[in-house]
């Protein structure tokens, strides 16, 4: 390592300058130095709106809600550093997955949802990967996912022991989600 040719700046000086600049800027602008991440504070109205999305009740003929999934669980999760709002449903379906795919392509599309395609290299058959749709713009953006599930996955993710409704056919989960402020979000961001 070559010897230093100039004296080193004391390590505390840059930190002190940054802190002083931040305090001055927030004091002058009247803003506080809050976290740049969204939280779950004051999101009850948006969660209620997600829970009421009609697409959560739109299912292909023959789909049934398992006994412990008759309601629409909804809430706000902020364990990742940035909050996410969601409302979800789980259904059992006795038919092939392709019928679920076809149903949601038609039903969601008719309701104004736009199907998003996976970037090249990430694409998998829809009957494996499920579907992802978006709707709205900045301030009211929503994301809809249709994912296939199994009795084993329900046990792992929801601690739910699936009954005979999952013995044949497919299970699927619907989730409508959004950023806390409705900011535009995409399926593959």
Q: Residue 24 half-sphere exposure, CB side, CA atoms within 13 Å? A: 6
Given a cut of 50, whether residue 49 has pLDDT beyond it is yes
pLDDT at 166: 75
CB 155 within 8 A of CB 120: no
* Residue 45 pLDDT level (bands cut at 50, 70, 90): very high
Residue 73 and residue 171: Cα distance in Å, rounded?
17
pTM for the complete prediction?
A: 0.75
Given a cut of 90, whether residue 46 has pLDDT beyond it is yes
pLDDT at 188: 79
pLDDT average, residue stretch 156-161: 84
Percent of the chain at pLDDT > 70 equals 77
* Residue 38 pLDDT level (bands cut at 50, 70, 90): confident
Task: Write the pLDDT tens digit of every residue in 83-94.
Answer: 999 999 999 998
Name the residue ranges covered by the structural domains of the chain. Answer: 44-179
Q: In the 8-state DSSP scheme, what is residue 107?
A: H
Query: Pairing relation of β-strands 114-115 and 131-135?
Result: antiparallel
CB 153 within 8 A of CB 162: no
pLDDT average, residue stretch 88-110: 94
Q: What average pLDDT is seen over the chain? A: 79
pLDDT average, residue stretch 155-171: 79
Task: Write the pLDDT tens digit of every residue in 56-79.
Answer: 999 999 999 887 787 889 999 987
* Residue 111 pLDDT level (bands cut at 50, 70, 90): very high
Given a cut of 90, whether residue 104 has pLDDT beyond it is yes
In angstroms, the Cα distances linking 182 to 35, 43, 50, 85, 139 are 18, 11, 11, 9, 4
């Amino acid at each position: 390592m070559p010897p230093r040719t100039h004296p080193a700046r004391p390590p505390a000086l840059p930190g002190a300058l940054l802190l002083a600049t931040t305090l001055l800027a927030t004091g002058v602008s009247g803003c506080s130095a809050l976290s740049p991440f969204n939280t779950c504070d004051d999101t009850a109205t948006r969660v209620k709106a997600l829970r009421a999305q009609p697409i959560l009740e739109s299912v292909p003929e023959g789909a049934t809600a398992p006994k412990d999934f008759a309601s629409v669980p909804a809430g706000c999760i902020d364990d990742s550093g940035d909050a996410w709002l969601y409302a979800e449903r789980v259904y059992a379906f006795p038919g092939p997955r392709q019928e679920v795919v076809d149903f949601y392509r038609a039903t969601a599309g008719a309701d104004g949802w736009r199907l998003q395609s996976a970037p090249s290299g990430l694409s998998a058959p829809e009957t494996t990967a499920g579907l992802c749709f978006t709707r709205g713009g900045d301030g009211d953006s929503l994301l809809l996912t249709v994912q296939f599930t199994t009795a084993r996955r329900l046990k792992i993710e929801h601690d739910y022991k699936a009954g005979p409704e999952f013995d044949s056919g497919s299970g699927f989960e619907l989730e409508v989600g959004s950023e806390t402020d409705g900011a535009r979000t995409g399926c593959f961001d």
